[in-house]
Structure 1
Amino acid sequence: MKRILETILVTFAGGVLFTLLHVPLSWMLGPLTAVLLWTSFTKRRLTWPAGMRNAGLALLGYGMGLSFTMESARQISSQLPSMLIATILTVAFSLGAAFLTARYTGVSMASSAIGSIPGGLSQMVVLSEEIEGAETAVVAFMQTIRLLTVIFAVPFLAVHGLAGGAVTAAAGVPPTGSSSTSTGLFSSLVDWGAVIAARPVFFGLIVVIVLASAWIAVRLRFPTPFFLGPILAAGIITVAGYEPPHLPPLFTLLAQWSLGIYMGLGIKLSSLSNWKKLLPYSIAGSIAVVAFSLGLSYLFSKVHPMSLLTAFLSTSPGGMTEMAVTASMVGADVSMVVAYQMFRILFILFIVPYMLRWGFRRFSGGASSRPSRG
């Protein structure tokens, strides 16, 4: 409990500081940064229950699933070819950046490739254990730098560049610096309670459905199941014509806070000894992929009925959760962003590993991959 209390105090300070500095996603990036700095300089170990992280993901997923409509479902189905094209081009560009990184840093091509592809950090680290010539420490370091670069650069560019600095009410949190911010947060909580009291049976049914959807997603081994299950459940309920209650802003803030803590605890900056040589290439490669996504999103916004902001967040090499949170904050089409991000993640998780194994076996003279550790 002492460690959890220390974690709360440290990350609360990070959230408040980033809010005062008007940093996008302040209650996710602030706690994340606070965890990294505190553990790096004090050498103290912070902790956060996985259940709190899962609850935060479920809340975020439910809130964002409410943005799904029948029209968004039709648009998503019509853009499946574009999702495939965007994913293939992003993976190909990432492999190009990986080739340059391997050539000028001396790390193996296998390590550089797996470290550069925009998949989940944990999934790519696990994959590195099954590919001959891949070093787990290198992959973990490169994926960490990619993750940090994207989750800081993309929201900042989306808010202060493409959105012109205007953050909509879709963020779920009143404007920073307003004297009525705290009052607005708690008054909305009271209003939400009144809505629930008016339809307690319907609300109870919604809770059961959301919890069941998360359980089913876990059983089916979905990526980020506690986020993806509730977002699909809420989307289906909304598309079916029902109007489930929206989350109060305070819940959204707490969910982002919990997610930021857990992400910070999962990042290990000391995973590689010769990090100074690899760091600039990892950052440059990550920025290049973000820039490539921006160019790709411009083309997509001209072909499809979607804004440049929505297209950028859809094609950015970030995590589905982080990009969806950013989309809700800047008023982009959350359902479209989630669809593109989910398609890319599933493609990378289920198709890319087989492509990499085949490619490395072919170009390494028939070397086989190491057996899986299960």
Structure 2
Amino acid sequence: MNSPQSAHRPWGLPFPARVALTLLWAWAAARLCLWLQTPIPWMIGPLVATALVSVVGAPSASWNPCRNAGQWVIGGALGLYFTPAVGAMVVGLWWAIVLGIVWALVLGMGFGAWLRRVHVLHLSGLSPAQRFSTTYFAGAIGGASEMTLIAERHGARTDLVAAAHSLRVLLVTITVPFGMQAWGVSGLNLTPSGAREVLPQGLALLAGLTLAGVLLMRRRGRANPWFMGALLVTMVITLTGITLSAIPSGLSAAAQLAIGVSLGVRFTPAFVHTAPRWLASVALASAVMMALCGGFAALLSRLSGLHPATLVLGTAPGGIAEMAITAKVLHLGVPIVTAFQVCCLVAVLVLAEPVYRWWIAKRGH
């Protein structure tokens, strides 16, 4: 996502220069996090550093092709974990994934209802229908861009919807990895990827096949095509027992950096000044949702036998890539986390609008 500042040239810098400076700043932040031994340094460092400079009006910028390439790489890297044995294990957990989907839908509806109750006076300038659509889609645990587009069709204030999703993902992305580090969990449910060696010819073939998947997803108008296309193609290849190549660690680190930057540039001065009360409510609700997800993960752990740390990541109200990267770096059941997050996202994208229409009809709007 390009920063909203990209429409003009703050500080007299052209867009390519701002992108280069932002990437350099993000790289320095990642190196600092490596030295400090923070969790997920190649994503957390760039995310926090870019958000900090963006919010004070510095000329930060993210180039869409960098973000897309980052999602492409991460999608392919995660797909390598779906070996035939792991695939069978994930299929056997279908019931837990269904419970996770129901949980995500209920959690999002509760979040939206709470926002509506708290901000009934602050959103008095909106009609009841607009207030309902704004809070409903702001609460839905789905992709920020997808939820914002759907919300726009129903007359919602899209700036508030986008702000709620951006802040929630930021807080979850920062809080959960540090929580895992404080918990002392890593290397649990270790499921190494099917490909463990980087093979140039295999890597080139994998890149070509996943790019074809990405372009097909884009042509069909699917959500998050750069991530989902690469993930699904690599999953199919790995599930059949074919080993092409591992993803170079340096390439994975660069992808995490690009994703961190793309999240960080959303936090402009305009973002902070849009609706402070709204952002405070979203921050509070995000903290409560993380705590509730922790409790749900503990319950699901008792039922499934999986470690609660894996299920915390699988059910956390963050983005797919961010939670899956956390699982990958900490070796916390990558396929399980990815399966939970992907299925929940798809379900929310498919069901959010029909549920909204049903709820509207029930309320008589």
Category of TM-score, reference length = shorter chain: 0.7 to 0.9
Residue ranges of structure 1 left out of the alignment (5+ in a row):
173-190, 367-374
Q: What is the rounded CA distance, in whole Å, between the counterparts of 1:203 and 1:113 in structure 2?
A: 43
Superposition TM-score, scaled by structure 2 size:
0.84
Alpha-carbon shift at residue 167 of structure 1 (Å): 6.4
Distance 1:19 1:84, change over 3 A: same
Secondary structure in structure 1 of the residue aligned to 2:54: helix
Q: Do the aligned residues in 2 keep the contact of 1:69 with 1:238 (CA within 8 Å)?
A: yes
Q: Does 1:59 align with 2:73?
A: yes
Given that 2:107 and 2:289 are in contact with CA atoms closer than 8 Å, whether structure 1 keeps it comes out as: yes
In 1: Cα distance, 2:71 partner to 2:62 partner: 14
Q: Is the 8 A contact 1:290 1:317 kept in 2?
A: yes
User: 1:91 is matched with which residue?
Assistant: 105
Q: Could you report, residue by residue, the CA deviation over 1:130-158 in whole angstroms, capped at 9, with x for unpaired residues? A: 225x3222212222221111111122222
- The aligned residue for residue 249 of structure 1 is 249
Q: How does 1:20-99 map to 2 (within 5 A)?
A: 20-41=35-56, 43-99=57-113
Give the C-alpha shift of residue 323 in structure 1: 0.9
Query: Is this contact kept in 2: 1:141–1:271, CA < 8 A?
Result: yes
Cα distance in 2, alignment partners of residues 159 and 269 from structure 1: 31
Tell me, yes or no, if structure 1 residue 309 matches structure 2 residue 309: yes
Amino acid at match of 2:28: A
**How many correspondences in the alignment?**
336
Give the Cα separation in 2 of the matches to 1:171 and 1:55: 25
Give the drift of 1:315. 1.1
The reply on whether 1:19 has 2:34 as its aligned counterpart is yes
Q: 1:131 to 1:125 in 2, by over 3 A?
A: same
Residues 226-275 of structure 1, C-alpha deviation per residue, up to 9 Å, x if partnerless? 11222222222222222222122211111111111112224446247463
Q: What is the DSSP-based 3-state SS (H/G/I as helix, E as strand, rest coil) of the residue aligned with 1:301?
A: helix
Q: Please say if 1:154 is aligned against 2:169.
A: no
| Correspondence for 2:298 | 298
How many angstroms apart in 1 are the aligned matches of 2:362 and 2:154?
A: 13
Secondary structure at the counterpart of residue 23 of structure 1: coil
Paired with 2:187 and 2:264, the residues of 1 have a C-alpha distance of 25
After the TM superposition, which residues 145-224 of structure 1 pair with which residues of structure 2 at under 5 Å, given as runs? 145-161=167-183, 164=184, 166=186, 192=198, 195-196=199-200, 200=201, 202-224=202-224
Identity among equivalent pairs (%):
24
2:149 corresponds in structure 1 to: 126
**1:288–1:79 distance in 2 versus 1, CA, 3 Å:** same
> Counterpart of 1:351 in 2: which secondary structure?
helix
User: Alpha-carbon deviations, 1:77-130, whole Å to 9, x = none?
Assistant: 233332222222232233223323322233434322211221111112112212
- Which shifted more, 335-344 or 80-89? 80-89
Residue 25 of structure 1 contacts residue 155 of structure 1 at CA under 8 Å; is this kept in 2? yes
Q: Summarize deviations over 1:294-328 as a string: whole Å, max 9, x none.
A: 11111222222422122111111111111110111
Please give the alpha-carbon distance, in whole angstroms, between the structure 1 residues aligned to 2:252 and 2:159.
34
Query: Residue 320 of structure 1 aligns with which residue?
Result: 320
Partner of 2:265, secondary structure, is: helix
Report the TM-score, using the length of structure 1 for normalisation. 0.82
Contact 2:84 2:241 in 1 (8 A): no
Aligned to 2:10: none
Query: Any unmatched runs of 5+ in structure 2?
Result: 1-15, 124-130
